[in-house]
Chains A and B, each alone.
Chain A
Amino acid sequence: MSHLIKHALANAYKNTIGKGLLVLTGLLSPSLVMAQDAVLNSGDTAWMLTATALVLFMTIPGLSLFYAGMVRSKNVLSVMMQCFAITCMVSILWVVYGYSMTFDVTGMEQGVVNFNSFVGGFSRMFLEGMEVDSLVYAIPESVFMTFQMTFAIITPALIVGAFAERMKFSAMLLFMAIWVTLVYFPIAHMVWSGNGGLLWDWGVLDFAGGTVVHINAGIAGLIAAIMLGKRKGYPTTAMMPHNLNFTIIGAGMLWVGWFGFNAGSAVAANGTAGMAMAVTQIATAAAALTWMTIEWLSHGKPSVLGIATGAVAGLVAITPASGTAGPIGALIIGAAAGLGCFIASVKLKKAMGYDDSLDVFAVHGIGGIIGAVLTGVFAFPQFGGVWSPAEGVTVVGQVVTQIKGVGFTILYTGIVTVIILKVVDLVVGLRVTEDQETEGLDLSMHNERGYNL
């Protein structure tokens, strides 16, 4: 490819992404921005550098600790190792082709459904065309690329909780490599790449990743939990969290890191970012208190695991709404998530009989769905929202659009995840042996112990 063509592609890319993000933040009409006019804004850049670090901090160590505390002591290293290895592997895949598959806009046209509505091209492989002074919106492309990379990292890491304590490490790596390639990159492309992206053109509102990150991971987790089968002894053997101190520390880190996730999704240091931060705090507190209260009333005691899980449920649910909801909407979305995820985690799992070890589906799947649907309501100014809907867009219409986005994500992720797991099972086998499971994954997979006290 000649240098000139490369340059043109990079420019076209910048142009569209720039426009897309502006629509997303709802600040200016797309016609106001031209790539040629884009100049670096150091305030935006400083915030996005920070937000990127915050989102990485969510996975390592936040999510790792959150999960590690909930497994038995013989498996504590295995979940930390899985989160860490996913972080490394997805970073490399993102550079090689993930960024290109997600954000290459070659061939995309508004309102036209073609192959590139589903997945980006490969012209940006190995970050082709990304220079020191390449800009996306008003920040360096290098920062935008790394920020988006941290989202690609945390999504598969979330799934780890569903099959914790029983999946082979090699199978986990292979599954995750294929899963981000065939599920995460395409879904992120469909939702976030701008005009011509399938869900983008449908008008689905997903500010920071309700469908892309949470429903995606929640559904994949549910499928994985079912296909791998229950842990040996579940549900008759006691499988108590071995260290809830880790879990509440991890939940705290997730909460703090989530400001980077949600407020960072404005890709600017502006009013949208500020409101995203505010609603994130409000919804999380509301969900945590809701969970705690219901548990207190129904089970007699308010638990640490309960309030921590409720907080994560609130964070999940406000994610798609964080750029459009107002404070009242955040209160309601948070409370709904606390209630809905509590029921899913405490009742639904037992009724259905699957062993989603750490409740990935109950918290991320259900929380994500509640958030995605309610986003369509609380975006509207009459419900306290800060979104400016296009003419003719009604609340009912938008909710239907949101449900359509949710349904598509569930179907796509569900089907492709089943196929990937089947293939991985044939190639390397999904589960550890019974003896290895009894011994614990720390020793059987990694030859180490978490505790030598």
Chain B
Amino acid sequence: MKLVSAIIKPFKLDDVREALSAIGIQGMTVTEIKGFGRQKGHTELYRGAEYVVDFLPKVKLEVAVGSDKVDEVIAVIVKAANSGKIGDGKIFVFDLAQAVRIRTGETGNDAL
């Protein structure tokens, strides 16, 4: 099992969710986060005082999938979240040791 953690632009969230649903992904977790990469921050100006805002709002989307599906999930996210501009985000993939569905006690792939 793998945990796919994708940092994307907030306004791409709906596109990504739809694309993942279309390939049968049934659940995901979304967190509003802040961060920066090569895009760096931007500046804001208040009465002439310039502030550099380092951390930009992003969305972190986490999906737990069976190892056989992980490449497809990554491909779908890359396609849906891509705007071609700097700041589109990154995808990180982790090995997932265990998954449990709390209601039934199912474990492993059955719990996904």
Contacts and interface: CB of A to CB of B under 8 A. Distances in A.
Interface string A232-254: 00010011110000000000000
B8 to A, nearest CB: 24
Contact of A346 (B44, B48, B51, B52): B48
Interface string A324-353: 000000000000000000000111001000
Contacts of B48: 299, 345-347, 350
A240 B47 contact: no
A422 interface: no
Interface residues of B, number: 9
Interface in B1-60: 44-49, 51-53
A305 B51 CA distance: 15
B46 A305 contact: yes
A285 B46 CA distance: 21
A206 interface: no
B27 to A, nearest CB: 26
Contacts of A345: 47-48
B47 A238 contact: no
B46 A241 contact: yes
Query: Chain A, interface size: which category?
Result: 10 to 19
Contacts of A238: 44, 51-53
A240 B45 contact: no
B47 A359 contact: yes
A347 B49 CA distance: 9
A364 to B, nearest CB: 14
A309 interface: yes
A235 B47 contact: no
B51 A306 contact: no
Interface centre among B46, B51, B53, by most chain A C-beta atoms within 10 angstroms, is B46
Contacts of B46: 240-241, 303, 305
A7 interface: no
A305 B49 CA distance: 12
B57 to A, nearest CB: 14
Nearest to B53: A238
A446 interface: no
A346 B47 contact: yes
B53 to A, nearest CB: 7
Nearest to B41: A238
B49 A306 contact: no
Interface centre among B44, B49, B52, B53, by most chain A C-beta atoms within 10 angstroms, is B49
B55 to A, nearest CB: 10
A38 to B, nearest CB: 48
Nearest to B43: A238
A309 B46 CA distance: 11
A301 B51 contact: no
A166 to B, nearest CB: 17
B90 to A, nearest CB: 25
Contacts of A241: 46
B105 to A, nearest CB: 36
Nearest to B47: A345
A336 B49 CA distance: 22
Interface centre among A238, A240, A350, by most chain B C-beta atoms within 10 angstroms, is A238
A350 B46 CA distance: 13
Contacts of A309: 47
A336 to B, nearest CB: 18
A303 B51 CA distance: 15
Interface string A289-316: 0000000000101010110010000000
7 smallest beta-carbon distances between A and B, as pairs: A346-B48, A238-B51, A345-B47, A299-B45, A305-B46, A240-B51, A346-B47
26 contacts: A235-B49, A238-B44, A238-B51, A238-B53, A239-B49, A239-B51, A240-B44, A240-B46, A240-B51, A241-B46, A299-B45, A299-B48, A301-B45, A303-B45, A303-B46, A305-B46, A306-B47, A309-B47, A345-B47, A345-B48, A346-B47, A346-B48, A347-B48, A350-B48, A350-B49, A359-B47
Interface of A: 235, 238-241, 299, 301, 303, 305-306, 309, 345-347, 350, 359
Given A299-B45, A305-B47, A359-B47, 12 more contacts: A238-B44, A238-B51, A239-B49, A239-B51, A240-B46, A241-B46, A299-B48, A303-B46, A306-B47, A309-B47, A345-B47, A346-B47
